[in-house]
Amino acid sequence: MVHTFFSPEWFLAYEMVLHFVFALITIIVSFYAFKVYNLVRQPQPKLFGIAFGLFSVSYISQFFLEFLTITQIRVIPIPILQAAIERFFDVLGIYVHIVLFTMGLITLTYMTLRERSIKTYSLLVLIALISLFFASNKIQLFYILSSFLLLYVLIHYARNYINHKQPNTLRGLIAFSLLFVGSVSVIFSFQNEVLYVMGHVIEGIAYLVILTNLILAVKK
Amino acid sequence: MTKKRDRLQIIHDILRAIQRKNGVIKPTHILYKSNLSHQMLDEYLAELLTKGLIMESSTKSGKTYSLNPKGFDYLNQYKLIVDFVDSFGLNEA
């Protein structure tokens, strides 16, 4: 759970709810991406579906581990054991989230590239995961890495908007711009915890824009 | 329009042409309706067969093509496909 490192205590319950909502939105997007893939059999919807599926699992795991931490705190009477268990779920939660979310972002970035090769994909995954494994400040590196990957994804959506100036492509650009801004905001949250909250709120708005885009696309 | 949109549109046009001929059509009619070269049409038909959208049958008068249930799905879901692809930037990079 991120709150051990950056998040203010009062935000913990809100954060848990946000992660649940993010998990729901991303799994719905993933479902429709695979539905489209099933009809067109092109790599882009498949990769998009995999990326959002990984995001969803990362949010679900974070949600459950946050939930476990909160409930464990209440049932364990021994403070030192309570603290140890809380710490265990904290660390497990953040690492599962980091690995799955990074893989999701790499899949999304890979989708935007012209290159289609398992070597390129595995290279990106290995570089990111090895860097994270050996980093002394894993969480900060995770947000820095996420911001760079989101920047590449953002360039793709900017180009998509330039090529198709339509409301739906603009919403796509806005959503990924917000995800990028939210991620950058969290990088600096060790200086001010308000930035952590702000990052999550911005992320929430981004997912609402993505959900709006999806609803408008699905609507007959 | 991007290459991807063109492909989605062309596939839609081919499937729609088959549907309008009561679900069974000869390749020459598809060629006329889809406005493609012979080579391009062969490539698209091969792709549609591989993807399970259409079915090929041989008759005395030559080959005919008909829609599979997945082909009907494609036509019904075409708006969703195009809107989803555009909204989430899934055009071919």
Bridge partners (DSSP) listed for residue B64: B57
Domain ranges of chain A: 2-218
Which residue is listed with tokens 């711009």? Answer: A177
In tens, the pLDDT along B12-37 reads 989 988 888 776 788 888 888 777 88
- CATH number for the domain spanning B46: value is 1.10.10.10
pTM value surpassing 0.90: no
Q: Does B66 map to a domain?
A: yes
Tell me if A42 and B73 make a contact (CB, 8 A cut-off): no
SS3 B22: coil
Q: Which domain holds residue B48?
A: 3-81
CB proximity list for A10: less than 8 A, separation 6 or greater: none
Mean pLDDT of chain A: 88
DSSP H helical segments within chain A, as ranges? 12-40, 43-75, 79-112, 118-134, 138-163, 167-187, 193-218
Instruction: Give the neighbor-by-neighbor strand order of the sheet with B62-67.
Output: B24-25, B62-67, B54-59
Do residues A200 and A13 lie in contact, with contact meaning Cβ atoms separated by under 8 Å? no
Residue percentage of chain A with pLDDT more than 90: 58
Residue B7, CA atoms < 13 Å, CB-side half-sphere? 17
Cα separation, A17 vs A29, in Å, equals: 19
In tens, the pLDDT along B51-88 reads 889 998 887 778 888 898 999 989 988 888 988 998 89
Work out the widest C-alpha separation in chain A, in whole angstroms: 61
Torsion angle of the four alpha carbons A31, A36, A39, A41, in this order, in degrees rounded to the nearest 10: -100
Tell me if A40 and B77 make a contact (CB, 8 A cut-off): no
Whether the CB of B4 is below 8 Å from some CB of chain A: the reply is yes
Do residues A42 and A51 lie in contact, with contact meaning Cβ atoms separated by under 8 Å? no
CA B53 to chain CA centroid, nearest Å: 8
pLDDT score of B91 more than 80: no
Q: Does B87 map to a domain?
A: no
Q: Does B91 map to a domain?
A: no
Which residues from chain A sit within 8 angstroms of residue B88, using beta carbons? 29, 33, 48, 172, 213
SS3 A134: helix
Which residues from chain B sit within 8 angstroms of residue A160, using beta carbons? 89, 91
Q: Does B77 map to a domain?
A: yes
Neighbour tally for A113: CB within 10 Å: 15
Using alpha carbons, select from B23, B46, B44 the residue that is nearest to residue B35. Answer: B44
In this prediction, residue A73 has a pLDDT band, given cuts at 50, 70 and 90, of low
Q: Does B36 map to a domain?
A: yes
Angle of CA points B84, A37, A57, to nearest 5°: 85
User: Domain count of chain B?
Assistant: 1
Q: Does B93 map to a domain?
A: no
Whether the CB of A100 is below 8 Å from some CB of chain B: the reply is no
